[in-house]
Amino acid sequence: MKIIYLLVVLLYFMVIISSNNNAVFSKEIKNKIKEINKLNLWATPFVKKGNVYSIRKTEEVKGKEYLTGVNDEEQLYSMFAGEKKIKKGNELLKVKWTSTLSIDTVNVEQTELFDKLMELQLAEEDILTVGLLVYRYCLEDEPYDLKAWVSSLPEHYNSAIFYTDEELNYLKGSPAFVQIMIERQSAKELFEKLASTVFKEDLITKNCKNELNWERFSWAYATVSARRIYVPNPESNKPSATIAPYLDFFRRSNEPNANIEYDEELGTVDVRTIANINPKEEIFVNFDHHYCNSELLSDNGYIIKEINSQSCVNVLIEELFDSINQNDPKKQEKMILINNFFEEEGVKMLRISLDSLTEDLLKVSKYIAYKQESVVEYLIRLVELKQSHYLTTIEQDKEFIKTPEYTQLKIKEKLAFDLAFQEKQILSGVKHNLKNNIESSNTEAQPNNQNNEKEPKKVKDEL
């Protein structure tokens, strides 16, 4: 009887705790809805009349399914059309430059802080991170223009700096593994630099009720990584990083139905439809460049689930160095050429796509293949090198997906596994296409002399 009594008491407290948790959770959802409604009101002057759309909890849209890693405690919101169809060419939004989070905004509203950050020679993205951090945790009792937007931002992200070493195991072999390791290290170095300098200044210690610790810094860093866009800078050759409030709730896609534009004359960041958008359909905007899923996971904390002709895998500079034949007499020269190319073009990675090979990759491939092999043969070897980096094969992954262990993966683990599995499939498809190219080239090189002697094999370098 005593055991039964104890079990009943335990069950009672479990129900109480569960009820309290549900109550807290419901309260959090209600608060988030209130904050979103305040943001909708704040954005009213920027929203073009006649276009009915709003921020809503993300739903699954056929043909554009995202693996977001969202669970019941992390509500993800994005932009959806309302009850009416939105026509192609309609202007949806014009956000004034003065209402964006830019280095200009930080300079005007947090001048003393901005000067300190400039002394440290921080990148624009890092200045935005610190500016956002101060808005959120130091100016909570002060009025400022971006307050409704800051309050509406997500509390959680699944992007690079939140991955543990254990979760990263599922990414071994993927370019994302290296990207996330670098991103985590960069974030930690920036935090340590700020913690030993600016965060010790009176302007922080006397004005911030909340400690600017790693957890809070990580939130600001992840927010900027996930929501920044780049717009032309008339004073520089390099574009400027900024976050346009409200616009940042549009999710991005390589197949968008709306475009982000910058109106230099009016000083506004705009959104215009490039396709008809049906009622209740999600509105996707364009990226500033073609993203592979490893970049999306690292920066945004999600991946695009479906594989299509634009799906791609990143190629790291280290992989290009490794792909040069060890006995190539021009190996050192080729490494220097590749390094110079990356520096001059300002690129960090190249990419291999299912539908095409980028001009940059073809150019670098010609450097490496020079006097060694054809470009196509080299690319097949590069793909095989990349495939060899993964710890498991496509067949092994397919078997793992059938197991209970796969369904029990944590959110970030599942995102990591699915990304690596997808990359292997893309590389397999690229290799298949390249081999078909060789076969079609060999078919064209048929014997055409009177003695029926075969000509040497010819392989196309033009893809």
Question: pLDDT, tens digit, for every residue of 143-157?
Answer: 999 999 999 998 888
pLDDT range class, residue 15, cuts 50, 70, 90: very low
pLDDT of res. 70: 42
Confidence of residue 451 (pLDDT cuts 50, 70, 90): very low
List 384's β-bridge partners, or say none. Answer: none
Asked whether residue 460 is assigned to any structural domain, the reply reads no
In this prediction, residues 31-54 reach a mean pLDDT of: 82
**Taking CA 185 as the corner, what is the angle to CA 181 and CA 188, rounded to the nearest 5 degrees?**
140
Band (pLDDT 50/70/90 cuts) for residue 131 is: very high
| pLDDT of res. 373 | 94
Mean pLDDT confidence for 348-359: 86
For residue 461, tell me if it sits in a domain. Answer: no
Do 405 and 279 belong to one domain? no
pLDDT at 447: 54
* Averaged pLDDT for residues 77-88: 89
Q: What is the pLDDT of residues 382-428, one digit of tens each?
A: 999 999 999 999 999 999 999 999 999 999 999 999 999 999 999 99
End-to-end Cα spacing for the chain: 80
Q: What is the CATH number of the domain that holds 52?
A: 2.170.270.10
Tens-digit pLDDT profile for residues 249-272: 998 887 899 999 999 889 999 999
Q: Is residue 463 part of a domain?
A: no
Average pLDDT of the residues in 172-186: 95
pLDDT at 228: 94
User: Residue range 98-109: average pLDDT?
Assistant: 95
Supply the range of the domain harboring residue 154: 101-242
CATH of the domain at 107: 3.90.1410.10
Quick one: pLDDT band at residue 446, thresholds 50, 70, 90? Answer: low
Q: Is residue 452 part of a domain?
A: no
Q: Which of 303, 334, 351 is the last residue of a domain?
A: 303
pLDDT above 60: residue 459: no
Specify whether 24 is located in the same domain as 140: no
Average pLDDT over residues 318-323: 95
- Is the same domain home to 128 and 204? yes
Regarding whether 207 and 177 lie in a shared domain, the answer is: yes
Looking at the fold, whether 64 and 161 belong to one and the same domain comes out as no
pLDDT band at 123 (very low <50, low <70, confident <90, very high): very high
User: Is the pTM value of this prediction over 0.75?
Assistant: yes
* C-alpha triplet 37, 228, 197: angle, nearest 5°: 105
Confidence at residue 278, expressed as pLDDT on a 0 to 100 scale: 93
User: Is the pLDDT score of 356 beyond 70?
Assistant: yes
Note the pLDDT of residue 365. 94
Q: Is residue 50 in some structural domain? A: yes
Q: For the chain, what percent of residues have pLDDT higher than 90?
A: 58
pLDDT for 64 equals 44
- Same-domain status, 290 and 317: no
In terms of domains, do 297 and 418 share one?
no
Identity of the amino acid at 346: G
Task: Give domain status of residue 453, yes or no.
Answer: no
CB 303, CB 422: distance < 8 Å? yes
Same domain, 408 and 325: yes
pLDDT band (50, 70, 90) for residue 334 = very high
Name the domain count of the chain.
4
Residues written for the chain: 463
What pLDDT is attached to residue 51?
64
> What pLDDT is attached to residue 26?
61
Residue 456 lies in a domain: no
Return the pLDDT at 461.
40
Residue 457 within any structural domain of the chain: no
Tell me the pLDDT tens digit for each residue of 195-251: 999 999 998 998 888 899 999 999 999 999 999 999 888 787 888 999 999 999 998
